[in-house]
Chain A
Amino acid sequence: DAGVTQSPTHLIKTRGQQVTLRCSPKSGHDTVSWYQQALGQGPQFIFQYYEEEERQRGNFPDRFSGHQFPNYSSELNVNALLLGDSALYLCASSLGQGGQPQHFGDGTRLSIL
């Protein structure tokens, strides 16, 4: 039973570029959330997708956008990259909108030069 998978594992970009990160949820899960974890900090919620719609959003600018596909997989897009966007980006999946725990992937390490 595959867990949450994310790709790529590492990525290096320069300021101003755009990036797309991908996530496949754990089998049986239908809800995907994205988090940003800066070095030495706890993860911060970016947004959540359920039934192909953004359901909840954290305090992140519009440069951060996403998508969920019919097979429940998801993409995170970041435009006009800033040095401060350097972080570990974590995808988490869960079943529905209730109290079930979220299962995390190993993340994509994004470095901005």
Chain B
Amino acid sequence: AQSVAQPEDQVNVAEGNPLTVKCTYSVSGNPYLFWYVQYPNRGLQFLLKYITGDNLVKGSYGFEAEFNKSQTSFHLKKPSALVSDSALYFCAVREGNAGNMLTFGGGTRLMVKP
């Protein structure tokens, strides 16, 4: 069975500072990893994915994520946070050969203060 853990319910950061949202995962095969963002009363928007290749993945809106196989982590990062980045962030995993089913973490609320 596959699972995702997002250990922080909320992350607070000042505008202009770097941000990190943590994610660890568990799958029995090769992981496909994703980050999504959700704004109030909206669906999920795709930010970035890791399937294979370079461990540092760049995505939308200046976000990036680092895949670490030994630590089974896929932390989301951004060098300089914006107030408009405040939202709910979800990490998701699917096993490479297990169809399209995504398993999501519980979400981390990012609060960026001016």
Interface residue ranges, A against B (CB under 8 Å)? 4, 31, 33, 35, 41-45, 48, 50, 55-56, 58, 90, 92, 94, 97, 99, 101-107
Contact = CB atoms under 8 A, between A and B. Distances in A.
B25 interface: no
A104 B100 contact: no
Contacts of B90: 42-43
Nearest to A44: B104
Interface stretch (B14-22, B38-46, B64-72, B78-86): B38-46
A-B pairs with lowest CB-CB distance, top 9: A42-B104, A104-B43, A56-B99, A104-B44, A106-B43, A101-B46, A99-B51, A45-B101, A42-B106
A46 B43 CA distance: 16
B74 interface: no
Interface string B96-114: 1011111111110000000
Interface residues of B, number: 25
A61 B39 CA distance: 29
A90 B43 contact: yes
A65 B43 CA distance: 21
18 contacts: A4-B43, A33-B101, A41-B107, A42-B92, A42-B104, A42-B106, A43-B90, A48-B99, A56-B99, A90-B43, A94-B100, A97-B99, A99-B32, A99-B51, A101-B46, A102-B46, A102-B100, A104-B46
Given A4-B43, A101-B46, A106-B42, A56 B105 contact: no
